């Protein structure tokens, strides 16, 4: 099937679009939508969000806002953008038992989605290349200043939930997003209806009140940001609110009625498991997190987060021993959080 000879006929692009949909489903994508690169309607919201400093230490959000609002700065010949979503199930969980608990975000309890998504996007692009001459594209998956959720929403993949995740009726928010910027003049899809209605359960559930309003997240207060992106000491006033979460946070997603399936695969984490993870050497950390999204936080932040989780755990003499054994860690940040955790444990000591 070669579409090059039919470029002047609109029906050829309708046929190509249908074929791309079929290929995408065969590859494993749940939904596919196509949109144009115009995101000017999001300019005011983004500028207001940045003006409030809600991006926290994510300076790249401020630095690259022009590219985020104008996809053609990333690929000049972009005429249509193919948006896809990949259910979490397509990034099969690793064999590591330590990942499958409610201390680690559900997305991180799987193979690194960046690698899985990029491979599948390349497969889709190769299919299109075989059918269309002079096909140009760039593939993205959370690896460039792409306004992914805005594009996916505009392409009809799903709707933006009040906790700023994209939602579908089938998968809730349990999927990853990817894009192919292309030089093809494909027919565009339409945005779907928002189904959040009057529900505000996600906003009410946030432990740190990071959701300042519907569709507005203050990253400085978000536990997912604090455990994953924040590179320095976690503010003292927020540490207790983090609880035993060590990588990410699913609280708002768990509160969402569209995510009922999330509860099936989660189990509590106990102090013994936290101590085991805290005792890993750097080599163990790098080995056991290989192929997962957890590795990107690095060993230092891994220990920082675990120290906070241990401090927030019920009193246990073994926790105090584990914390004291790492007091000579070369990182001042790790030492600081260990000292804080020891203070928390000692304050719970029964007399």
Closest CA to 27 of 157, 133, 119: 119
Q: Are 34 and 142 in contact (CB under 8 A)?
A: no
Calculate the alpha carbon distances from 214 to 166, 185, 249, 294 in Å: 13, 35, 18, 29
Cα(121)–Cα(252) distance, integer angstroms: 29
Cα(59)–Cα(23) distance, integer angstroms: 37
How many helices (H) does the chain have, and how many strands (E)?
15, 8
- Considering the candidates 142, 189, 270, 316, report the single residue annotated as catalytic: 142
Q: Are 234 and 220 in contact (CB under 8 A)?
A: no
The beta-carbon contacts of 114-120 under 8 Å, at least 24 apart in sequence, are 114/141, 114/142, 114/143, 114/293, 115/291, 116/86, 116/90, 116/91, 116/176, 117/86, 117/141, 117/176, 117/178, 118/143, 118/178, 120/27, 120/28, 120/29, 120/84, 120/86, 120/90, 120/178
Closest CA to 213 of 54, 47, 51, 41: 54
Cα(20)–Cα(82) distance, integer angstroms: 9
Q: Are 1 and 131 in contact (CB under 8 A)?
A: yes
**Annotation marks residue 97 as catalytic:** no
What's the DSSP call for residue 291? T
C-alpha angle 262-264-269 in degrees, rounded to nearest 5: 90
Cα(182)–Cα(213) distance, integer angstroms: 35
Cα(349)–Cα(316) distance, integer angstroms: 8
Q: Are 341 and 238 in contact (CB under 8 A)?
A: no
Residue positions annotated with a catalytic role? 142
């Amino acid at each position: 099937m070669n579409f090059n000879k039919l470029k002047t006929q609109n029906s050829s692009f309708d046929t190509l679009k249908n074929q791309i949909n079929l290929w995408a489903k065969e590859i494993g994508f749940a939904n596919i939508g196509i949109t144009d690169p115009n995101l000017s309607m999001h300019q005011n919201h983004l500028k207001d969000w940045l003006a409030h400093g809600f991006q926290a230490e994510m300076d790249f959000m401020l630095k690259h806002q022009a590219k985020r609002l104008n996809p053609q700065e990333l690929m000049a010949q972009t005429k249509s953008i193919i948006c896809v979503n990949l259910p979490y199930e397509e990034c099969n969980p690793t064999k590591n038992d330590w990942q499958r608990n409610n201390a680690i975000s559900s997305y991180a309890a799987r193979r690194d989605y960046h690698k899985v998504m990029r491979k599948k996007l390349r497969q889709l692009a190769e299919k299109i290349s075989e059918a269309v001459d002079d096909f140009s594209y760039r593939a993205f998956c959370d690896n460039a200043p792409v306004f992914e959720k805005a594009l996916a929403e505009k392409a009809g993949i799903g709707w933006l939930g009040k906790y700023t995740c994209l939602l579908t009726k089938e998968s809730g928010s349990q999927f990853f997003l990817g894009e192919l910027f292309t030089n093809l003049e494909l027919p565009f899809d339409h945005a779907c209806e928002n189904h959040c209605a009057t529900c505000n359960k996600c906003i009410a559930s946030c432990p740190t009140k990071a959701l300042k309003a519907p569709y507005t997240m203050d990253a400085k207060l978000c536990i997912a940001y604090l455990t994953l992106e924040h590179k320095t000491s976690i503010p003292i006033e927020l540490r207790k609110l983090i609880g035993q979460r060590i990588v990410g946070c699913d609280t708002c997603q768990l509160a969402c009625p569209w995510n009922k399936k999330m509860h099936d695969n989660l189990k509590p984490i106990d102090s013994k498991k936290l101590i085991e993870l805290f005792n890993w050497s750097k080599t163990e950390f790098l080995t056991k997190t290989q192929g997962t999204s957890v590795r990107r936080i690095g060993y230092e932040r891994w220990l920082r987060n675990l120290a906070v989780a241990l401090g927030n755990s019920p009193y246990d003499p073994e926790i105090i021993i584990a914390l004291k054994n790492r007091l000579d860690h070369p990182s001042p940040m790790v030492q600081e959080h260990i000292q804080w955790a020891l203070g928390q444990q000692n304050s719970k000591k029964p007399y």
